[in-house]
Amino acid sequence: MPVYKVNVKWNKQVLNVDLNTDEEPRLFKAQLFALTSVAPDRQKVLFKGKQIQDDSWSNLQIKDGITLLMMGSQGEIPKAPEVKTVFMEDLNENKLTELLNLPAGLENLGNTCYINATVQCLKTVPEFVKKVYECESPITSLDMNAFLIESLKDVFYTMENHAVVNPTFLVSAILKAIPRFAENKQNGVFQQQDANEFWTELLRLIRGQLKPVDNPIQDDNSPRYDSFIDQYFGGVNEVTLKCVETEDEEPTVTKDNFLQLSCFINTDVKYLINGLKARLEEQLTKHSTKLNANAVYSKSSKISRLPSYLSVQMVRYIYKERESINAKILKDIKFPISLDVFELCSADLQQKLLPMRSKFKEQEDRICEGKIQQNAGDEKKKKNDKEDNKYIYPTYFKDDLGSNNSALYELQAVLTHKGRSSSSGHYVAWIKRNKNWFKCDDDDITPVTEDEILKLSGGGDWHCAYVLLYGSKQLEVEKKQDGTPLY
């Protein structure tokens, strides 16, 4: 290995350096950098007027004792960073949550996951949160529902500023307002409860505390609501009851209010929409005044009013008398991110829905024609699209604030259950916030993908969707110069 002892003159210094011609000159320059702190890209090394290249010694005759000349100055010594580097593992929970933009978690106080999951799902409804904040009810020792809404308000406020929230007062208010949930206490811990039962009971209890939102555009025919809950979560079914055993009896048509739709599960149902249809078409036996005997009736329900927020219960439990438990149906039932319930609606409502649906159809056509970029999350598009150049269509009928005017919905929360019985196992909320999905497992919050959400459809002992919360789909289009929508 040819190694030579050479001298390198730099400024007023003469350096004695080993030079190995089997190695590329760039390694020699690295040696000089170690001795002089002159970066290789700032070095100019000469021998008899010829500059040394980075990759070859072929143009030079190297031998012991020769003197090379190096020109170049030291670069500025890097300064210490003005802001001290902070590693993620050194952050506390609140700072980490703020940095990652995570939702706040809720502590499990002993089988309270059904409460935590329900609260997380309902918090995805901005109008609901706003109404809870605005609610001002005088609290007395006997007014459990007012205490409940104040406790919920406190939890919502705290969740805005903390990574993990202790919901002790809320849990206490719930157990006082719903005494049966405080039964069956063992070893100081309350028994697990059915999350959907709690969901519906909570809305019922606070219904009287939340006044409806005033709509300035109303006439004498506009619907009136006693509560915000009915206004934004409530739908109406048009129910037709007809005797199938005689034509002499006229069908009866009634109205039936609902806060939730049910997805019926049997051997034929594989998709959410089919389960919803099955629940809207039933047969029952009742007394017929015309026949003066019990007879079979067909009960057909069509939706005549859709709410802004539609919750759907997957009917996954059947009561087994022998074991005295609600056993779980684990069957895989596929649900969509985008839900269209147009075919579940009455003929009158379908006619009212057509204008808004035609606007959504026009947008789809424009996307297909390439006039609109389909990927709304594209970074370049984000920079070019100004918010003040966008028109967002109302998602409700003008005379019915809190309704849905298209029958189109987007999934925004899923409440799942893991286990074999509604009174055991574990409940988890999966919520969408700012276009991102998160798994809220009590105080453990983790980002998840949309594909992971779709895997919650059931089929095993993994988390199964139990309650689905859909919000009205928004249509956002460009504005004309006069401020009106482009189409």
Please name the amino acid found at residue 84: K
Separation between Cα atoms, residue 170 and residue 150, nearest integer Å: 8
The Cα–Cα gap between 429 and 432 comes to 10
Both tokens of 49, joined, read 């007027």
Q: Is 463 a residue of the active site?
A: no
215 neighbors 228 (Cβ within 8 angstroms): no
Q: Is there a contact between 201 and 142 (Cβ–Cβ < 8 Å)? A: no
**Measured between alpha carbons, how far is 365 from 359 in angstroms, rounded to an integer?**
10
Sign of the Cα torsion 249, 251, 256, 260 reads positive
CA distance 344 to 305: 11
Cα(468)–Cα(134) distance, rounded to whole angstroms? 26
Q: At what angle do helices 168-177 and 113-122 cross, to 10 degrees?
A: 100
**Distance in angstroms (rounded) separating the CA atoms of residues 120 and 104:** 9
Asked if residue 330 lies in contact with residue 424, where contact means CB atoms within 8 angstroms, the answer is no
Alpha-carbon distance of 66 to 61, in angstroms, equals 10
Cα–Cα distance for residue pair 183/66, rounded to 1 Å: 96
CA–CA gap between residue 242 and residue 290 (Å, rounded):
12
Residue corresponding to tokens 């008398």 = 321
Closest CA to 35 of 14, 60, 4, 66: 14
Phi then psi for 446, rounded to 5 degrees? -135, 140
State the catalytic residue, choosing from 113, 263, 345, 440. Answer: 113
Q: Known catalytic residue: 287? A: no
Instruction: Say if CB 62 and CB 4 are below 8 A apart.
Output: yes
d(C-alpha 59, C-alpha 47), whole Å: 10
Token pair belonging to 436 = 């991102």
> Residue 125: CA atoms inside 13 Å, Cβ hemisphere, count?
25
Burial track 347-386 (b if 16+ CB lie within 10 A, e otherwise)? eebbebbeebbeeeeebeeeeeeeeeeeeeeeeeeeeeee
Of residues 135, 263, 426, 463, which has the active-site annotation? 426
Q: Are strands 164-165 and 105-106 parallel, antiparallel or unpaired?
A: parallel
**Residue among 250, 253, 239 nearest 299 (CA):** 239
Catalytic amino acids?
A: 113, 426
